[in-house]
């Protein structure tokens, strides 16, 4: 399969549960991202990994914990979430060599998360 793949597509979890979102990219990119998409709001950047190192943590609460074991895989570990965390969580990847300032993002289909 090509592109960016996210699993699961849908997730319902209670506030006390622990779950993980998975993202895999088959594009050979070296940067991966987590975005949150809520209704009537701009896409919010949560985390950025470049060459498997976290380069951005955009003031995200600690109940969201990212993990990037290699350049092809990205996880978002969730625990003790709140109902307002319900949203579509999008993973993306891009190719960002040193000194290159712009490269398109390739998004996955997202995980629709509902916190009850």
Partner 1 sequence: GENVEQHPSTLSVQEGDSAVIKCTYSDSASNYFPWYKQELGKRPQLIIDIRSNVGEKKDQRIAVTLNKTAKHFSLHITETQPEDSAVYFCAASIQYGGATNKLIFGTGTLLAVQP
Which residues of the chain form contacts with partner 1 (CB under 8 A)?
A: 4, 31, 40-43, 45, 48, 50, 55-56, 90, 94, 96-110
CB of 96 to partner 1, least distance (A): 5
Bridge-based pairing state of the strands 18-25 and 73-79: antiparallel
Closest CA to 49 of 27, 28, 67: 67
Q: Which phi and psi angles does 27 have, rounded to 5°? A: -105, 0
73-79 sheet: strands from edge to edge: 4-7, 18-25, 73-79, 64-70
CB of 79 to partner 1, least distance (A): 26
Residue number, 16 or 102, with CB nearest to partner 1: 102
Residue number, 17 or 105, with CB nearest to partner 1: 105
Residue number, 22 or 79, with CB nearest to partner 1: 22
Residue number, 67 or 96, with CB nearest to partner 1: 96
First-last CA distance in the chain: 33
CB of 37 to partner 1, least distance (A): 8
CB of 115 to partner 1, least distance (A): 20
């Amino acid at each position: 399969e090509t592109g960016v793949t996210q699993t699961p597509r849908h997730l319902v979890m209670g506030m006390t549960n622990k779950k993980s979102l998975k993202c895999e990219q088959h594009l050979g990119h070296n940067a991966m991202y987590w975005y949150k998409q809520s209704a009537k709001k701009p896409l919010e950047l949560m985390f950025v990994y470049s060459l498997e190192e976290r380069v951005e943590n955009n003031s995200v609460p600690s109940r969201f914990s990212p993990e990037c074991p290699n350049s092809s895989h990205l996880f978002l570990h969730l625990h003790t979430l709140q109902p307002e965390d319900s949203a579509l969580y999008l993973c993306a990847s891009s190719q960002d060599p040193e000194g290159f300032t712009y490269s398109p993002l390739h998004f996955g289909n997202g995980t629709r998360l509902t916190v009850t």
